[in-house]
A and B are shown apart, each in its own frame.
Chain A
Amino acid sequence: MKQPLGVVQGTLELLILRTLATAAPMHGFAILDWIRDTTDDVLIVEDGALYPALRRMEARGWLESDWGVSEKGRRARYYELTPAGRKALAEQAAKWERYVSAMAKLARTKA
């Protein structure tokens, strides 16, 4: 369980960064919607897992957040990327591409 969790966490962060990079400030529910739409629900098991990840990324300086009012008139916490976050997105994406292409090569290689 340990090893895949690391992968999942890294994946989740990349997804959040990507999501926020494409749109204006979003609250957690919207972010999750976006990720589910883009990834066909395959990557996120529990909704709640999103929130610690958001907080962690904020503490790292990748995201900034503040309270606002949603279009439904609800009190919601909005997140957006910081310049540091954009840089992190570029790095993470590059890392993932290398990882994915390496895995793809490995998968194609016959044993």
Chain B
Amino acid sequence: MSTPRPPANAPRGPRRWLHHLGIRRVPPETSATWEIEHHLSELVDRLVAEGMQPADAEREATRRFGDRARYVPTMRRLARRQLTRERLMYTWDAVRQSVTSVARTARRYPGYTAGVVITLGLGLGANATMYGIVDRLLLQPPKHIVQPERVRRVFLTRPHPVTGMTTSQDEFTPPDYEDLEAQRTMSVAGYDAGGFSIVGAGAGATQAGTLRASAEYFPLLGVRPHMGRFFSDEEVTPGPPTAAVLSYEFWRRAFGADPDILGRVIEVADDRVPVIGVLPQGFTGVDLRPIDMVLPLFTNFEGDEECLRSRGCYFIHIVARLNDGVGVVTAQAEATRLHQNGRRDQVEAGRWPPEASITLSPLRTARAGPELSAESRVAAWLMGVSVVVLLIACMNVANLLFARMTRQRRELAVRLALGVSRRRLVSHAVLESTLLALTGGVVALGIARWGGQIVRTTLLPDVSFPDSAVGLRVIVFTLMVAVLAGLSAGFGPALQGSRVDIGADLTASGRGSTAKRSRTRDLLTAGQAALSVVLLVGAGLFTRSLSELWGIDLGLDTDRIVVADLEFVGGGLDVASRRDVYALAARRVAQLPGVEAVAGTASPFQTGLAISLRVPELDSLPRFPTLGPYLFAVTPGYFETAGLAITRGRPFAESDGPDRSPVALVSETMARAVWPGQDPIGRCLMVGNGPERCTTVVGVAEDAARNGFTDGAYMGYYLPVAQAVSVQPMGQSIGAPHALYIRGTDPEAIAAAVTPILRTLTPEVRWARVWPMRDSLAGQARSWTLGATMFVAFGLLAVSLAAIGLYAILAFEVAQRTRELGIRVALGAQRARLLRGVLYRGGQVGAAGILAGLVVSYAVAPLAQDLLFEVSPRDPRVLSGVALLLATVSVAASIIPALRATRVDPVTAIRSD
């Protein structure tokens, strides 16, 4: 018997790997059957040769083989295991080869490698930065809340008393809150979010952002203290605070992480309060604003207990946790019923709308109302924008890879000829680009660490970010996107590379007398230009919104005013002392260099006072959607300090004292509304519910903003503080200022100089808060500032990438055509003609991109309309400006390659490879 020889075509050596990939791989199920069949047929052959009948031979062979049913499953199982092992080994082998190859490429073409890594790094960096922000604003619930999906914010929804439009508010009165405590479908907790307390005294005093919470607040959220405990029911009662809970951050910052803080008594304004607990790190309640300290709800209402019983004093925010198995609709219905019951008397008297209802909205973070806040919506847009930036980066890289594949055609053809499968070539190229992208991802994390920090501190200062800008989620996200980017950028070029024609590309000298223009590359370049146009249009629209916003005439010269607010020992001063202290403060401050004027106001910016007002000749005053009219009690220098022009009559004078006849100024809007077409000077106002006495209008002042940019027209009038002692809205006399306005050209410097003087002014002053008025507006401009800044940053990044892309493709083409250009020069072509040719190419691609970009912008921009301010999403100035910018950039990017084309030396060019 002869020993069987291996057949000539049995795969051996390196080609074995290819078989594992190719169609010759036999599935484990079939391979066992095939192998057994082969055995049986060999045996039958032999038995027949030995003289057996074929039928008998088959029976005998089967008998000799034994229990086939027992062997086959084992064989299949083992075969499957073997297959998995081979695949793993193949993958590992491919990864190893690609790593080596990338390293080799990086050494041989450092510029190309750096280009790819940096381009992807920038694109991925934009994404990592934005993801870190969006994750906090939109994706993650606030920290330390158990089962956040069952927690709801509670809103009071009712028709606006004047306009009838449905509005939602998140502030409730104490009785309205108590109504909801009877709820059975959910539990509720109240808190009061805004506010500062002064902790400590004298030089060691510090300001602490303070939340006031009901006893149910912490248990409802499910938060566990870092140490100590939270409030008991007895501790949450009206009166001075009986217990304080510190935030982890404040405990470390102000108390040096004192381990014996529990039980330590701290000074909070005039009260001595024991610390009972410390919150876990990063706790911000259901909002995202940092918290320093939590006091019991209802504390510090001395002198204003009326408010706790009134259905007109809105300050409590409510969170709710739905009971298990209760739907939102059921809970809302019950809450609305309880609310309507509580206000039944008012509803029956027609003083409360029967449509008023309770709305529950999920704890999606950073919500300003039931809707997403403008910042969050802008951030979501910016996330999209960063994806577009990445898309541009990927297109750019794809272009580079295409160019490289073209340059490598001969090498690839050789490899194909040597028997490397096309599939292997593709997977190798894709792996390579993925590895480069991962390296870019690491670069991106560096960018995000730096960029994320800047965005957080400068653009979103009101949001607490407990985690580092590059947390685990950001890392995972970035690397995942990096892989995706690598795959998508590498796949097209790889596929093209694998389509190399062995015959043509191997025999072609590789000199490529003329390079074919690649339609794909042109498309990719034009696509980049188009996308940058879209981003730049966004940048333009947001920038215009921002400048429109700051361009609004607020009346007040907000850029030149510093506001100073004094807080007094003992819960406040009587009117006379308060007036004296503010007068002293004004005198001191006026002496500082740079201070142009100082005045006091009892109704500083962003507070609104409205009391009853009558005009004898009218049955009722005109009603405005902004309600009102609003009352401002000010000192004589107020109009000059605030920058409000007196359009008729006169401002207040020092002589308008308490014993002189009462005078008032009215705003232009009020003058027009109350006395249309008539002269308001000398008219009579009946202020408040006191004795019937005329306050004579002596002047008209320019309209002034009351809260910020979008107040809407409102009626306002001014009284001199000296004559307003008896006017006591909300129990507080406005006969003395509550704040100083200080006018000067450099508010920051003035604020810095004024603060120490005011804090040590007299022993009665516990604390002074001093801030440029513009800071009070910055919060309102935040979404536009965020949008404008980031859109501009991303837009410029995008246009730079696109410019580099255009430059690279033209430079590459010129390099490829060196021989052709050389020949043309040798044949007497004019260099100017060559220059024009390249510029024309650049212009063509650029123009196509600009056109496509404008079309897309025209279609997409209106979607962002409600995020813009007073700017049409199709603003022609923005569109044309962007088009012009892009056109300039494309020409600039084409110039260097174009010049290079004209400098081709015919002799070297024709000889060159």
Contacts and interface: CB of A to CB of B under 8 A. Distances in A.
Interface of A: 23-30, 32-34, 37, 45-49, 51-52, 55-56, 58-59, 64, 66-72, 74-78
A49 B81 contact: no
B4 A68 contact: no
B4 A66 contact: no
Contacts of A52: 71, 74-75, 78
B196 to A, nearest CB: 72
B71 A68 contact: no
Contact of A66 (B19, B43, B81): B19
Interface stretch (B30-38, B480-488, B752-760): B30-38
Nearest to A50: B39
Contacts of B105: none
Given A27-B38, A52-B74, 14 more contacts: A26-B4, A29-B38, A46-B64, A48-B70, A51-B71, A52-B75, A68-B10, A68-B11, A71-B5, A72-B45, A76-B38, A77-B31, A77-B34, A78-B6
Contacts of A45: 66
Nearest to A65: B82
A47 B82 contact: no
Interface in B1-39: 1, 3-7, 9-11, 16, 19, 24, 26, 31-32, 34-36, 38-39
B672 interface: no
Nearest to B36: A51
Listed residue (A28, A29, A64) with the most chain B CB atoms within 10 angstroms of its CB: A29
A55 B76 CA distance: 9
A24 B42 contact: no
A59 B81 contact: yes
Listed residue (B5, B7, B66) with the most chain A CB atoms within 10 angstroms of its CB: B7
A29 to B, nearest CB: 4
Contact of A48 (B3, B36, B78, B81): B36
Interface majority SS (helix, strand, loop, mixed), chain A = mixed
Interface residues of B, number: 38
A48 B73 CA distance: 12
A1 to B, nearest CB: 14
Given A55-B82, A59-B81, A68-B9, A74 B36 contact: no
Contact of A67 (B3, B26, B68, B82): B26
Contact of A30 (B3, B16, B74): B3
A58 B36 contact: no
A33 B35 CA distance: 15
Given A46-B66, A75-B38, A55 B75 contact: yes
A72 B44 CA distance: 13
A47 B43 contact: yes
A35 B1 CA distance: 13
A46 B7 contact: no
Closest 8 CB pairs of A and B: A46-B66, A55-B78, A68-B10, A48-B66, A30-B4, A29-B42, A52-B74, A25-B6
21 contacts: A27-B4, A27-B38, A28-B38, A28-B39, A29-B39, A30-B3, A34-B3, A47-B64, A51-B32, A52-B74, A55-B78, A59-B78, A59-B81, A68-B7, A69-B7, A69-B9, A70-B38, A74-B38, A74-B42, A75-B34, A76-B38
Contacts of A28: 35, 38-39
A49 B43 CA distance: 15
A68 B15 CA distance: 14
Interface string B637-650: 00000000000000
